[in-house]
Structure 1
Amino acid sequence: MDRLNRSKPNDGVSEMLRSLRVRTTIFCRSDMRAPWGFGVRAHGRAAFHVLLEGSCALDVEGVEEPIKLAAGDLVVLPRGPGHTLRSDRDAPVEWLDDILHRTPPVDGRLRYGGRGVHTDLICGVFAIEDREAVPILTAIPTVALVRREDGHTWLGPLLEIIKVEVASFAPGGDSVVARLADVLMLQAIRHELEAVTHDYVIFDSQVGTALRLMREEPDRAWTIGGLARAVSCSRTSLVERFRLTTGMPPMRYLTRLRIATAARELGNSAATLAEIAPRVGYSSDIALSKAFRREMGVTASDYRVAALNGRGHAPGGRVNGRASK
């Protein structure tokens, strides 16, 4: 008989998720008609939004560019920052608390906005029940986005079941949707942990935070001392624990991360090396060019040609000996 779970014995992500317990609270299902917009104040709790139908724009405190969301997308905000969702950039925005006070949800559904295009979304928060597992959230990016169009086979079926349940008004429907949302959050956490850790065994919250910080700001002039201060530990301790977790020192990981980021831009955009260099922490295109060839074994121009022609090196580069995601 085949085993149901074929994960590797030392698969760190599986080990973390095996004991993880998530408890989800759904605020409401929102039936919006353009123009509409609502803001959520920073509250420190892990929040999420699921778009069942329609589209909207998401703005998050500390994130420069707005994020376009489409039907079937799931966004997780693990540290509960202030954020806004709106039908378009010109739509007026009100605080969600004020909207809920003035227009309480009926049968769990909030109806709000004008008479334009319809958007259907579910909003809520979640908590990790096991206190020892809470540091997992530190390794997840400020905005964790799972797009249906990217082909995640688990996302579509879960959302379809949720849509059926929230529309049925059957007895116990709220509990069923809440448990489905628990599964949705577990899947989203797994997706992000795999992307951030590349199968590293991240049980160490400070190493997880260091990884996340470097991935979010590869352009920053990171030093061992700066990283250590950012995660509140000593330089020696961080280097030892980082090497134990990832198999390499922090600055080596940072170099590979920067080159992988540059490789993605070369393969997916028309940006010049001079434009890419400051975005990935290099002072000039010459410095990036030398580092790129040393790390990838090919010149940046040859890599771009091969990537655009769909042969040779795949866009995305390598961070730890595997193609980055």
Structure 2
Amino acid sequence: MTSPISAFPAPRTVAAVTGPTVAIDIGGTKIAGALVHPDGTMTAVTRRPTPRAADAETVMAAVGEVVADLSGAPMWEQAVRCGIGSAGPVDTSRGTVSPVNIGAWRGFPVQDRVAAALRARGARIPVVLAGDGVAMTAAEHWLGAARGHANALCMVVSTGVGGGLILNNQLHTGPTGNAGHIGHISVAFDGEPCACGGRGCVESLASGTAIARWARDQGWTGPDPTAAGVAASAQAGDPVALAAFDRAGRALAAAIAATATLVETDIAVIGGGVAASGDTLFEPVRRHLASYATLSFVRDLRVVPAALGTHAGLIGAAAAAMLLLPGGGAATA
């Protein structure tokens, strides 16, 4: 009888991959691009602000500008694959995205459109689409804080909240690429409506947008109306700002514990802009986690900051392409 572990296919690695990868990271705030090399180094890094209030073609035009910037890089002609990491939900089976924080894109065929933009710049290479949480997970397991862990949850806490899973040393994407999308787990059954249509989602409580909105609603009047501004006030002892981060930390802790209980992860890695607040976020997450992760097999669950910082999305988009394309993605005609 086959054992449960040996029933999984052998984990894929990026160790034997050659050639640079065109990496594109699409989020609610920025669209970034780079050439990522097999050792994880990056060149030709570029970015554009995401035109969130614009129509679908205007958003795509910003992606096209990023591709145009990259095409001027000295190693452009050596690129052999492209990885796209996008805010979700995504549908990797169709190559489409419907980011909650980019309202103009609903079922947008970003994989085909990026492939066309690449061809227009002379790059006829295979293209892989991954959710931003999955991309960040691939990056942190390859080179970051989840390296060496066979089972891990990785999260992006920024304008939205996304995530991804490593199970038995493999990137677990699910049929449509949304496995591990922890931002839309409900942790408050009578909570406020979420932009996704659900109620009480982690994202509606713990994203940077949600933290800042809740603080303002409670009377906080700091000069910087963003989550970073709330974090600065919390570090100065402002009670409303501290309460906003405590609320976010509790939501994250509940979702992390639920995920770990379901699939037995032993580490949770948190990255994204909100994670840059350091212990202002991590202290309440860890404190509340002790109340949620109580069973013996999740009690020792660790919560740590992501190691790759703001470049995790780009490195992850490349890592996902290396892992998910047959043979690491040889160039196509």
More helix per residue: 1 or 2? 1
Higher RCO (CA 8 Å, separation ≥ 6 residues):
2
Length-normalised TM-score, structure 1: 0.29
Length-normalised TM-score, structure 2: 0.28
**Radius of gyration: which is bigger?**
1
